[in-house]
Amino acid sequence: MATINTNYQKLQAGYLFPEIGKRVRNFAAANPAARIIRLGIGDVVLPLPAPIIDAMKAGVDEMARKETFQGYGPEQGHEFLREAIAGHFRGQGAEVAADEVFVSDGSKCDTANIQEIFAVDNIIAVTDPVYPVYVDTNVMAGRTGPAENGRYGKLVYLPTTAENGFEPALPSGHVDLIYLCSPNNPTGAVMSRASLQRWVDYAKREGAIILFDAAYEAFIREPGLVHSIFEIPGARNVAIEFRSFSKTAGFTGTRCAFTVIPKELCARDGAGVPVPLHSLWNRRHTTKFNGVSYPVQRAAAAVFSPEGSKAVQANIDYYMENARIIREGLAKAGYRVHGGVNGPYIWLRVPEGLTSWQFFDRLLGEANVVGTPGSGFGTCGEGYFRLSAFGFRENVE
């Protein structure tokens, strides 16, 4: 009989969102008159702006004519989009070439798949709390021991809490791969330039690779903060960056993202010889992926046009005004709140004596508001609660 990948049996049931759904359904059934406000989701609500939709429609029209029809495109993405992305990085003070950009159908897949090009005995560091994709995919690949008290063996957890200003400390020992997400989901915090420089220096010293998830970089409001890891001197030798059009431009249902791998970035093979990760990822990507739909790539390129970027910025402004309203309202009500200034998530301290789940039940029961218990993102998330700025203004108010 065929046998399974038993690493899957180590996975803790992904019970956070199903459990939230169950509790909300039960509450709604018992309280049919209650108007439930959902601020738990990490999904956008505003429709795609007109310049983006127009570009998508123009792409569809091209598909309808013999002269402009497109079949398979380059797996790595069309030149027009890769060039536009590279130009955007240059505008942010980061050196990225168009052929270092790999266009894909999502950052979830990219951050999940990247571990494939690394050996199974690499030591992995993640922050706690964490976006669960980084952890679960390494569990599936066999890079962890079994879970005990919510933590997997062999994984190095980096506590990221109010006590350390949401700046994870460097590991005390050696690690090979480090997942960092800034602005952060779920805490809404942005890592400082100085701390990112410390991470780049650590990676250089230890021969480690930083996997930098910048899915929320477009939400940074304050000047001087780091949008791309490649703004940091030395990062091109130690880092991979992931970005997505999902939250930035409302593409969660449209699907487009990209990964940047600098050509000089290397990891060692079994004989200790440095191998460029760009060529490995190119091999993986071209073997397992056949490109993003042409009209979607046209729509994505429009995000960088003057009209497109203005429209996208207006949507981000809308969400960040939501964030301000939530943050300031809660602070006035006496809550300790974090995030919500340079990222679309508000990370609040639950009242003394309550767990994250107890607060979830109380908020749902008394205010009819749905959020996400911080403990669902890791042990260090206990005592915290995530509210999302992705909602309609009237609900937020």
| Residue ranges in contact with ligand PLP by CB under 6 A | 42, 106-108, 131, 181, 185, 213, 215, 244, 246-247, 252, 257
Long-range contacts, 281-285 (Cβ 8 Å, 24+)? 281/102, 281/114, 281/117, 282/76, 282/102, 284/113, 284/116, 284/117, 285/75, 285/76, 285/102, 285/104
Cβ nearer to ligand PLP, comparing 128 with 213: 213
Q: Measured between alpha carbons, how far is 76 from 290 in angstroms, rounded to an integer?
A: 8
Task: Give CA torsion, residues 332, 17, 41, 251, to 10 deg.
Answer: 160
Cβ nearer to ligand PLP, comparing 266 with 326: 326
Cβ nearer to ligand PLP, comparing 242 with 357: 242
Q: Measured between alpha carbons, how far is 112 from 114 in angstroms, rounded to an integer?
A: 6
Cβ nearer to ligand PLP, comparing 108 with 285: 108
Cβ nearer to ligand PLP, comparing 108 with 266: 108
Q: Measured between alpha carbons, how far is 102 from 127 in angstroms, rounded to an integer?
A: 25
Cβ nearer to ligand PLP, comparing 100 with 213: 213
Q: What is the nearest approach in angstroms of ligand PLP to the Cβ of residue 103?
A: 11
Q: Which two tokens stand for residue 201?
A: 């220096």
Q: What is the nearest approach in angstroms of ligand PLP to the Cβ of residue 257?
A: 4
Backbone phi and psi for residue 132, each to the nearest 5 degrees, phi listed first = -60, -20
Backbone phi and psi for residue 368, each to the nearest 5 degrees, phi listed first = 60, 35
Q: What is the nearest approach in angstroms of ligand PLP to the Cβ of residue 126?
A: 12
Residue of closest CB approach to ligand PLP: 106
Q: What is the nearest approach in angstroms of ligand PLP to the Cβ of residue 112?
A: 9
Are 317 and 221 contacting, i.e. CB atoms less than 8 angstroms apart? no
Cβ nearer to ligand PLP, comparing 82 with 108: 108
Q: What is the nearest approach in angstroms of ligand PLP to the Cβ of residue 134?
A: 9
Angle at 298 between CA 235 and CA 344, to 5 degrees: 55
Name the nearest CA neighbour of 253 among 32, 48, 1.
Answer: 48
Q: What is the nearest approach in angstroms of ligand PLP to the Cβ of residue 358?
A: 25
Q: What is the nearest approach in angstroms of ligand PLP to the Cβ of residue 190?
A: 13
Q: What is the nearest approach in angstroms of ligand PLP to the Cβ of residue 101?
A: 15
Q: Measured between alpha carbons, how far is 372 from 378 in angstroms, rounded to an integer?
A: 12
Q: Measured between alpha carbons, how far is 170 from 390 in angstroms, rounded to an integer?
A: 32
Cβ nearer to ligand PLP, comparing 131 with 157: 131
Q: Measured between alpha carbons, how far is 174 from 48 in angstroms, rounded to an integer?
A: 44
Backbone phi and psi for residue 80, each to the nearest 5 degrees, phi listed first = -60, -35
